[in-house]
């Protein structure tokens, strides 16, 4: 008998009968051909999270986002009227990468009245219009007021700025996000502006890492130390069970009860946890952010700890009961490599004690995240070995099942359109 009530069908997986319960293939995570298809079928069609509105504090603020696997760099800016816009980060003249510092591979941010190309000095307004062509009269029938940067579809929801690389998105951002994710609109993300950012280059398919973070079945065996300093606490056979799973279109979520370490007896705490009143995972004090908090804990579980929203294709939003949140992004760079970006957001610390609680939470993220990243290598190697072609998934891995099914459906739809000749 589990700790949480499952749906009437008996399991979460059977509550969504289209998922099936049989073993699944991970061929989608080892095939170079599938990776090539994914780029067009998913990443050039879906809405992609580019950054937070707080990264554009003023008119003229901008940041660039590099999407290495898509061979695309995007400028996101707030123009003179305050409108958020996105452009290809490419000069209209001879295709030079427009904005960069250090090396062209590096992302940058700043404030500008105009964008100037380093190469031949062409200039663009924040609305993307070309405002200056060096020696314009040397060109042939070229007028600056007729050209500009290539725009990219861009929209903002709950302070999350998304871009869409397709010529015409199939859906508006709000329609795309659906009701489950959309219900978070109004959550006080804008109060949580103290940010810790992390980046990792991992030797696995992007989906293999998403899979690690969309099930908690792995936590007791892999992250044994996370449960405390004593042998009694470190029980790798602890039976993890999430309180609630939910699917909505291509998106999915899981609610868990978390650890609530602030309620644990002292002997089950690491000394630094007791000192900072923080870990595992997150600070123990919840800053006042007003309320009620829309969209979180959709099933109303009593001892709610964490919501894990998986926004298709590659954004994860983790919302913690102690009023802080985390975003993860996974950018494929080849069939067996990806770039991982993790951002932790807190209500700004008012003093050193709060800063140290945040710092310990950020340490905890990295320490256990390294166990996840370190394991990925081995998972990718194991999958590529081809010893098995199908893999069993349990009910606590329902989101893994849904994710790969969704990826497959998007790629299949793309291939069908391509075969019909209807894909541009």
Partner 1 sequence: MTDALLPAEFADLEPWAATWCLPTEPQRWERRLNTSMEEMRAFYDAFFPRAEEAIIWCDRFPLDDMPADAERLLQLLHSLLMVSYAVEVWKQPEVINGGSARIDRILEPRP
Which residues contribute to the site for partner 1 (CB under 8 A)?
194-200, 202-203, 222, 225, 229, 270-272, 275-276, 340, 342, 348-353, 355-356, 358-360, 362-363, 366-367, 369-371, 373-378
H or E element in which residue 146 lies: none
Q: How far is the CB of 359 from partner 1 (least distance, A)?
A: 6
Concatenate the DSSP letters of all residues of 188-250 into one string: -GGG--EEEEEEEEESS-HHHHHHHTS--TTHHHHTGGGG-SSTTT--TT-----SEEEEETT
What's the CA gap between 39 and 334, in Å, rounded?
A: 10
Q: Which residue has the tokens 């500009």?
A: 148
Closest CB 126 distance from partner 1, rounded Å: 24
Count of residues for the chain?
A: 424
Helix (H, G, I), strand (E, B) or coil at 31: coil
Minimum distance between the CB of residue 243 and partner 1, rounded to whole angstroms?
27
- Whichever of 381 and 413 has its CB closer to partner 1, that residue is 381
Shortest distance (Å) from residue 239 CB to partner 1:
21
**Residue 312 vs 320, nearer CB to partner 1:** 320
Answer whether 116's CB lies under 8 Å from 122's CB. Answer: yes
Nearer to partner 1, 196 or 217 (CB): 196
260 contacts 227 by C-beta, under 8 angstroms: no
62 vs 245 by CB, closer to partner 1: 62
The CA-atom distances, in angstroms, between 311 and each of 57, 62, 162, 242, 255 are 25, 24, 12, 19, 14
Tokens of 15: 């509550």
Cβ 161 to partner 1 shortest distance, Å:
17
Q: 337 near 201, Cβ under 8 Å?
A: yes
The nearer residue to partner 1, 197 or 299, going by C-beta atoms, is: 197
Minimum Å gap between C-beta 366 and partner 1 is 5
Closest distance of CB 399 from partner 1, Å: 23
Smaller CB separation from partner 1, 230 or 299: 230
The residue among 40 and 359 lying less far from partner 1, judged by its C-beta, is 359
Phi-psi region of 159 (alpha: psi -120 to 50; beta: other; left: phi over 0): left
């Amino acid at each position: 008998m589990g700790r949480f009530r499952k749906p009437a069908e008996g399991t979460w997986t059977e509550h969504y009968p289209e998922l099936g319960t049989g073993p699944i293939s991970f061929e989608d995570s080892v095939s170079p051909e599938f990776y090539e298809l994914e780029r067009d079928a998913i990443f050039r069609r879906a809405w992609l999270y580019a950054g937070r509105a707080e990264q554009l504090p003023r008119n003229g603020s901008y940041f660039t986002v590099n999407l290495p696997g898509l061979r695309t760099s995007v400028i996101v800016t707030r123009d003179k009227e305050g409108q958020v816009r996105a452009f290809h980060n490419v000069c209209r003249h001879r295709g030079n990468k427009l904005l960069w510092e250090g090396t062209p591979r590096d992302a940058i941010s700043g404030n500008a009245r105009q964008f100037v190309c380093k190469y031949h000095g062409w200039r663009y307004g924040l609305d993307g219009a070309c405002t200056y062509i060096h020696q314009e009269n040397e060109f042939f029938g070229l007028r600056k007021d007729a050209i500009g940067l290539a725009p990219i579809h861009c929209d903002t929801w709950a302070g999350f700025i998304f871009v869409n690389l397709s010529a015409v998105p199939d859906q508006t951002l709000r329609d795309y996000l659906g009701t489950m994710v959309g219900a978070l609109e109004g959550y006080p993300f804008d109060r949580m502006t103290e940010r810790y950012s992390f980046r990792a280059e991992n030797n696995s398919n992007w989906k293999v890492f998403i899979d690690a973070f969309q099930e908690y079945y792995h936590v007791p065996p892999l992250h044994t130390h996370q449960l405390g300093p004593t042998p009694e606490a470190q029980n790798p056979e602890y039976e993890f069970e999430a309180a609630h799973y939910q699917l909505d279109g291509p998106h999915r979520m899981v609610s868990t009860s978390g650890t609530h370490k602030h309620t644990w007896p002292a002997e089950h705490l690491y000394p630094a946890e007791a000192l900072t009143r923080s870990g595992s995972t997150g600070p123990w004090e919840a800053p006042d952010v007003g309320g009620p908090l829309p969209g979180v804990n959709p099933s109303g579980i009593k001892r709610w700890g964490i919501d894990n929203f998986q926004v298709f294709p590659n954004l994860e939003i983790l919302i913690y009961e102690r009023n802080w949140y985390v975003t993860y992004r996974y950018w494929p760079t080849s069939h067996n490599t990806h770039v991982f970006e993790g951002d932790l957001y807190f209500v700004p610390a008012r003093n050193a004690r709060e800063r140290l609680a945040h710092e310990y939470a950020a340490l905890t993220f990295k320490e256990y995240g390294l166990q996840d990243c370190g394991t990925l290598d081995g998972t990718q190697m194991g999958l590529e070995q081809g010893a098995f072609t199908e893999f069993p998934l349990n009910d606590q891995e329902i989101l893994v099942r849904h994710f790969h099914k969704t990826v497959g459906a998007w790629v299949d739809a793309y291939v069908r359109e391509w075969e019909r000749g209807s894909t541009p």
